[in-house]
Structure 1
Amino acid sequence: MSIDPHLVPHWDTVALVTIDVQRDFLSESPYGIAGTTEILPNLGILAKAFRGAGRPIVHIVRIYEPGGGNADLVRRSLLGGGARIAAPGSEGSQLAPGLAPDAAPELDHARLLAGETQELGPREYAIFKPRWGAFYQTPLQDELHRLGVDSIVFAGCNFPNCPRASIIQASERDYRVIVATDALSQGSEQGLREVSRMGVQLMTTDDVVNALG
């Protein structure tokens, strides 16, 4: 079946956006998300392919201040009760092992919380988001515009929440959206079918790598 030309990804102007792939959200962590550690190999493959193609990568991260004052309402009681999840300066807030480029600096929490974009390597960045969606009160759209991006491959942690919100926000901004289905934790057949009806292209890691090539 042919794809509507308005939805066809532009592989020469595509970026990879990873969502919340941090140590505190790995499967084995106390507040982790099942299935997240298991997608790390495919996330690594995607990141390597995008670096090799010279295409941008943006890692979207969470940082919860002590007490949860900057968190979603649904998380404030948990964090206010003393839970430390992706706390500033903590090991758990850092990107999952093997995701960042070689020699990348650790996440600079002060800069990220101030709304700045942190460069991790050539055309590779980190951005903090205060809520579910990657575009909400973040510099993501400005960065993608600066980089000449009109197509986005999404991958990362906990599809029903942050990736799905980010996918919808990207669609609202007329990006051509791709989901790497096997590099996404908590994806469901029903949920992926629903976003596909919004024009989102569902592809495997191998499909994305081959298209980039």
Structure 2
Amino acid sequence: MTDYLGPHWESAALVVIDVQNDFLEGGAAPVAGTREVLPALAETTAAFRRSGRPIAHIVRFYQPGGCDVDLPRRAAVEAGRRIVVPGSPGSQIPSVLLPAEVALDSEKLLAGAPQTLTGSGGEVVFFKPRWSAFHRTGLESWLQETGCDTVVVAGCNLPNCPRATLFDASERDFRTVLVTDAVSQVTPERLVDLEGIGVQLRESAQVVDALSRS
């Protein structure tokens, strides 16, 4: 029987979702447990770099007073609440996850263009305006251009953006993996739901090992 679910590590890309300073404990809109998963997430990003595999960091920006915001936060942002404001320290990606110190180019990202972090274009940043990393972004085209058929997801707040991204990846026939100890807000029930659509569950150590052998 053909295996349509198992990850192809030699053609896998890591998608790191919404890991920005404002979403860490102590930030403007903290998501519990996000800071705790940074070590496992840093190990995973480093392993992808060592193996020469692509990495996409997905970020959000909310313009105070703006309305292009997901519905649960729209009223607060329209009223001026400051969360991941473009150009602010809170909107930046923690440096431990990046190949070098770099500031996000919010103007470029908000215009829909990716920000390249490495010369080869193997590590990029995309802005997304809603839950899924595929919604109004160039992620799908970038994955196709880099020859990826497997999407490995990690980051912030599993029930929202990572979950939506995994569903959308599956709908596009990508093989899907969730790094369970490198994503916040994990519960057994959520993992069972994701396994039901074919998402493969791996811990960061398993991902690092698989990449080293691929």
TM-score bracket, normalised by the shorter chain, equals over 0.9
Cα pair 2:56 2:126 within 8 Å, conserved: yes
Q: Is the 8 A contact 2:28 2:82 kept in 1?
A: no
Match of 1:91 in 2: 89
Runs of 4+ in 1 over 6 A off after TM superposition: none
Name the structure 2 match of 1:146: 145
> What RMSD over aligned residues (CA atoms) do the two structures have, in Å?
1.2
Residue of structure 2 equivalent to 1:119 = 116
Q: Is this contact kept in 2: 1:68–1:75, CA < 8 A?
A: no
Give unmatched runs, 5+ long, in structure 1. Answer: none
The answer to whether the aligner puts 1:109 opposite 2:126 as a matched pair is: no
Unaligned runs of 5+ in 2: none
Q: Give the equivalent residue in structure 2 for 1:66.
A: 64
CA distance in 1, matches of 2:72, 2:46: 35
Normalised TM-score (structure 2): 0.95
CA distance in 2, matches of 1:4, 1:199: 14
CA distance in 2, matches of 1:96, 1:71: 23
1: distance between equivalents of 2:51 and 2:105? Answer: 27
Distance 1:11 1:86 in 2: 33
Identity of aligned residues (%): 49
Q: Secondary structure at the match of 1:64?
A: coil
Matched, 1:56 2:54: yes
Residue deviations 1:32-62, cap 9 Å, x none?
A: 1000000000110001000000000000000
Structure 1 CA distance, aligned partners of 2:26 and 2:37? 13
Letter in 2 for 1:153: V
* Structure 2 equivalent of residue 174 of structure 1: 173
In structure 2, what is the Cα distance between the partners aligned to 1:79 and 1:46?
33
Name 2:40's counterpart in structure 1: 42
Q: 1:7 aligns with which of 5, 8, 11?
A: 5
Task: State how far apart, in whole Å, the 2-side matches of 1:166 and 1:34 are.
Answer: 20
Equivalent position amino acid for 2:169 in 1: A
Secondary structure of 1:48's counterpart equals: helix
In 2: Cα distance, 1:192 partner to 1:4 partner: 24
Q: How many residues align?
A: 210
Q: 1:88 to 1:49 in 2, by over 3 A?
A: same
Verify the 8 A CA contact 1:67 1:76 in the aligned structure 2: no
Q: 1:210 is aligned with what amino acid?
A: D
Normalising by structure 1, we get a TM-score of 0.96
Task: Provide the C-alpha distance between the structure 2 equivalents of 1:97 and 1:49, rounded to a whole number of angstroms.
Answer: 16
Q: Do the aligned residues in 1 keep the contact of 2:110 with 2:127 (CA within 8 Å)?
A: yes
Does the CA-based 8 Å contact 1:176-1:200 persist in structure 2?
yes
CA distance in 2, matches of 1:29, 1:184: 17
Deviation string, structure 1 residues 100-128 (Cα, Å, up to 9, x no partner): 1124x311000000000110124100000
Deviation at 1:4, TM superposition (A): 6.4
In 2, the alpha carbon distance for the partners of 1:102 and 1:170 equals 28
Task: Note the 1:183-202 alignment, pairs <5 A.
Answer: 183-202=182-201
